[in-house]
Copies of this chain bind each other. A is one copy, B any other.
């Protein structure tokens, strides 16, 4: 069913029908009623492609999901982020276009989105410290919002981020308060902006208490369960092992726990653990008492905020373009005072 067919059916011009359906005022209420009724009855919906061509708006947002070529990994937070974004999109009539690409040819994906003109804007995921996509998209002049920040960016850009520095500073302070001095940090990949900020928060907290940071306690890499386990095993095998571990992801924390328990130790008593928690839907951190002491911020909420911001930008609304979410520190069972044995 096309617009023309529908209008023939009604004995009206396509113009009038289009206007009736799109809520323009230059059509009488009586005909509008008739038109909408007929549209519903015949299951008519405007062809997106034709409408997009006519209006110049694709009514779609692009997300480029990079897959680490080396590790064949897709970051699990994307699922929840896109779920949050998806809510906002469907509420606003936007589609979400996903492009899953190896991180080698990510730029190509952005260029393609921009030149093929099939999206009105895009969300940038997982920015690095010195992310080239920002100047690139600035040059292309396509609206975008960054999920995270890029510390070395020179030009302004729209972003939604969590206060990673503060979150890890507070977490480290808590561990210090509990008497821990040797605190390990299992972080994300070093070139990622969030990892750098988390590390900065960790180091700032240590420095403020006069505790020297020890490179032998700091790691960065893919945040997998296996990685968490392996690093923990080797950390705890050191002659002077840490008494507390700070972890950048819940999934990694699961591995850390496995490592701790394999050694017959108890998390929270023998080794304390604080993790960053994205509040993933299938991995809620306990209902009443959190299993893990965690610094938490919902990545789904971040998805909602970022996508709403992007839609506002596209529509020329001038709402704030920089949103810093604070993580909340939740005390759970994985932390305890430094044991003196």
Give A contacts to B, CB under 8 Å. 43-50, 52-53, 58, 60, 65, 67, 71-76, 78-80, 82-83, 85-87, 89-90, 95-101, 109, 111-112, 115-118, 222-226, 251, 254, 257-258, 261, 280-284, 286-287, 291
Given the complex, which residues of B lie within 8 Å of A95, measured CB to CB?
A: 97-99, 118
Given the complex, which residues of B lie within 8 Å of A73, measured CB to CB?
A: 281-282
Chain B residue at minimal CB-CB distance from A118: B48
Question: Of B82, B225, B282, which contacts A284 at CB under 8 A?
Answer: B225
Chain B residue at minimal CB-CB distance from A87: B100
Given the complex, which residues of B lie within 8 Å of A90, measured CB to CB?
A: 99-101, 109
The 7 A-B pairs of least Cβ separation, nearest first, read A86-B100, A48-B118, A45-B115, A49-B52, A79-B79, A74-B83, A48-B116
Q: Tell me whether A286 and B226 are in contact in the complex, defined as CB-CB below 8 angstroms, given that A45-B112, A78-B79, A79-B78 are known contacts.
A: yes
Query: How far apart are the CA atoms of A89 and B101 in the complex, in Å?
Result: 10
Asked if A46 and B291 make an inter-chain contact with CB atoms under 8 angstroms apart, the answer reads: no
Q: Tell me whether A49 and B58 are in contact in the complex, defined as CB-CB below 8 angstroms, given that A98-B82, A281-B72 are known contacts.
A: yes
Q: How many copies does the complex hold?
A: 2
Query: How far apart are the CA atoms of A46 and B53 in the complex, in Å?
Result: 12
Given the complex, which residues of B lie within 8 Å of A48, measured CB to CB?
A: 58, 116-118
Asked if B118 and A100 make an inter-chain contact with CB atoms under 8 angstroms apart, the answer reads: no
Query: How far apart are the CA atoms of A48 and B112 in the complex, in Å?
Result: 10
Question: A41: shortest Cβ distance to chain B, in Å?
Answer: 13
Given the complex, which residues of B lie within 8 Å of A78, measured CB to CB?
A: 79
Given the complex, which residues of B lie within 8 Å of A60, measured CB to CB?
A: 97
24 contacts between A and B (CB under 8 A): A45-B112, A45-B115, A45-B116, A46-B116, A47-B117, A48-B116, A49-B53, A49-B58, A65-B86, A73-B282, A74-B281, A79-B79, A82-B98, A83-B100, A85-B100, A89-B100, A90-B109, A95-B98, A95-B99, A224-B282, A224-B283, A226-B284, A226-B287, A261-B261
Chain B residue at minimal CB-CB distance from A111: B43
Given the complex, which residues of B lie within 8 Å of A71, measured CB to CB?
A: 281
Query: How far apart are the CA atoms of A282 and B75 in the complex, in Å?
Result: 7
Asked if A225 and B282 make an inter-chain contact with CB atoms under 8 angstroms apart, the answer reads: yes
Query: How far apart are the CA atoms of A161 and B225 in the complex, in Å?
Result: 27
Query: How far apart are the CA atoms of A214 and B74 in the complex, in Å?
Result: 39
Question: A8: shortest Cβ distance to chain B, in Å?
Answer: 18
Chain B residue at minimal CB-CB distance from A223: B282
Query: How far apart are the CA atoms of A8 and B99 in the complex, in Å?
Result: 33
Question: A206: shortest Cβ distance to chain B, in Å?
Answer: 29
Given the complex, which residues of B lie within 8 Å of A291, measured CB to CB?
A: 258
Given the complex, which residues of B lie within 8 Å of A97, measured CB to CB?
A: 60, 95-98
Given the complex, which residues of B lie within 8 Å of A287, measured CB to CB?
A: 226
Given the complex, which residues of B lie within 8 Å of A254, measured CB to CB?
A: 254
